[in-house]
Amino acid sequence: MTLEKHTILITGATAGFGKACAEKFANAGAKLILTGRRIERLKELQNTLDPKRVHIIQQDVRDRAAVETLIDQLPPAFQEISVLVNNAGLALGLEKSPNTKLDDWEQMIDTNIKGVLYYTHTILKGMVERNRGHIVNLGSIAGTYPYAGGNVYGATKAFLEQFSLNLRTDLLGKNIRVTNIEPGMAETEFSDVRFSGDQSRAKQVYEGVKALTAEDIAETIYWCITQPEHVNINRIEMMCTMQVPGGLTVHRK
């Protein structure tokens, strides 16, 4: 399957996985709809790629009303979205639950869960009508393996894993695919955001290890969406070679 005749919407396309996906898919000939909060970065990406084949929208995934009217605002040539990449998401803080900010928990839920729901619900209707489509959700190994300070972030990614499986069940009989990508440690702006711009602390996360890159994730998503249409990749869990799932931990007096 090639991408020349496909229109792909990527949320959170201004950096990290989203930007890498935009570059990979554009080089493969796809038309792109890129959303994000930072309009200057979107414009730069549009100009770097192909302005005629890239449509940009400044949008916060938490804005339900704006997402619900998205299709009506698209140029006709971009309205038949065949692939949705629910990439926008974030982690805030690494404190244990008693020391966290409730506002941070709410922002993670609103972005990582509600944002995915808003885009999926809005775009899925057209996919069902055309009987063609692919929804790719960006989960995380944090949805499977708990770690100290992962609390609500990990819970939002566990939601995506189950939501992806339930979508597959609801879409039985339709030619629509659903994939959940679950990366481990990946060096992007992720830790900068988690630590509120503390770059020194963010760099410590990746010291002494070759982490996954945004391009690694983009390559994996590209492979998933270019499989023959009768092939659905349900989920992919991926880590860098030097990362493994943690073992059971016991606190002893």
Q: Retrieve residue 169's tokens.
A: 């069940």
The H or E element spanning position 176 is strand 176-183
142: left (phi over 0), alpha (psi -120 to 50) or beta: alpha
CATH architecture group of domain 7-238: 3-Layer(aba) Sandwich (3.40)
State residue 248's pLDDT score: 78
Q: Strand pairing partners for 124?
A: none
State residue 64's pLDDT score: 97
State residue 71's pLDDT score: 93
Asked if 62 and 110 touch (Cβ cutoff 8 Å), the reply is: yes
Dist. CA 179–CA 120, nearest whole Å:
13
Sign for the CA dihedral angle at 118, 192, 10, 53 comes to: positive
Asked if 92 and 84 touch (Cβ cutoff 8 Å), the reply is: no
- Closest by CA to 181, choosing from 235, 225, 116, 229, is 235
Tracing tokens 């597959």 back to the chain, one arrives at 168
Respond yes or no: is residue 118 known to be catalytic. Answer: no
Helix (H, G, I), strand (E, B) or coil at 23: helix
The H or E element spanning position 205 is helix 199-205
> Which residue in 118, 145, 147, 153 is the catalytic one?
153
Which regions of the chain are under pLDDT 70? none
The structural domains of the chain, with segments of one domain joined by +, span 7-238
State residue 166's pLDDT score: 98
**Residue 140, number of CB atoms within 10 A of its CB:** 26
Asked if 43 and 56 touch (Cβ cutoff 8 Å), the reply is: yes
Dist. CA 108–CA 112, nearest whole Å:
6
Dist. CA 154–CA 160, nearest whole Å:
10
DSSP character string of 28-94: TT-EEEEEES-HHHHHHHHHHS-TTTEEEEE--TT-HHHHHTHHHHS-GGG----EEEE--------
**Residue 200, number of CB atoms within 10 A of its CB:** 7
| 86-106 per-position pLDDT tens digit | 999 999 999 999 999 999 999
State residue 206's pLDDT score: 84
State residue 232's pLDDT score: 98
State residue 160's pLDDT score: 98
Query: Mean pLDDT in the chain?
Result: 94
| 39-56 per-position pLDDT tens digit | 999 999 999 999 999 999
Q: Retrieve residue 198's tokens.
A: 């503390």
